A and B are shown apart, each in its own frame.
Chain A
């Protein structure tokens, strides 16, 4: 799962029928969950795209920080294994915290720390 912030909402009348009741949100990933190697899938953090579209049944809104699940488990959350989606909001975050010391121990530089702090701020 990844962490992101809701930056928009999308409406689409012509859509796959199984998506009928899903609310669609535009989410900007924090960009801190980039895979260490290999090319990320399109739309995932690090791919160049700066947003994801995710289904939402937790009633998240613009400005909320959310946890988004990618891939197969997202379908189950979106209403069943036969819903053709690949991203779903799994949680609306009340509070997230990063321990600067733990981050230092992991070898992260000040730049990464700043980026993380900004992302959570």
Chain B
């Protein structure tokens, strides 16, 4: 899993049927120590997260099957919304 901040939502009128119209979030890896890397990941929302939320994202087809369902074509799923976290001073 990894932690990130939801920086946006994504809508697509034309999309694969296998995305099943699921809510798609743009998530950027980030901890209290700051943002990491340059990638944005498109994750399926397994809970009800929104822009600004800090979330935990898990990866893999099995994770996907267990949460949003085997018929969704994305392997990155939001499985937790962070209340707070503590980081050692770096």
Contacts and interface: CB of A to CB of B under 8 A. Distances in A.
Interface string B1-43: 1110000000000000000000000000101110011110100
A85 B66 CA distance: 10
Nearest to A22: B80
Nearest to A81: B62
B56 A48 contact: no
Contacts of A10: 3, 56, 80, 82, 84-85
Interface of A: 6-16, 18-19, 24, 26, 41-43, 47-54, 62-63, 71-72, 75, 81-87
Interface residues of B, number: 37
A24 B85 CA distance: 10
Contact of A15 (B3, B47, B59, B90): B47
A115 B37 CA distance: 20
Nearest to A75: B62
A50 B66 CA distance: 26
Contacts of B52: none
B38 A42 contact: no
B76 A8 contact: no
Contacts of A47: 37, 39
A68 to B, nearest CB: 11
A62 B88 CA distance: 7
Nearest to B83: A11
A7 B77 CA distance: 23
B81 A51 contact: no
Contacts of B90: 7
Given A42-B59, A48-B37, A9 B86 contact: yes
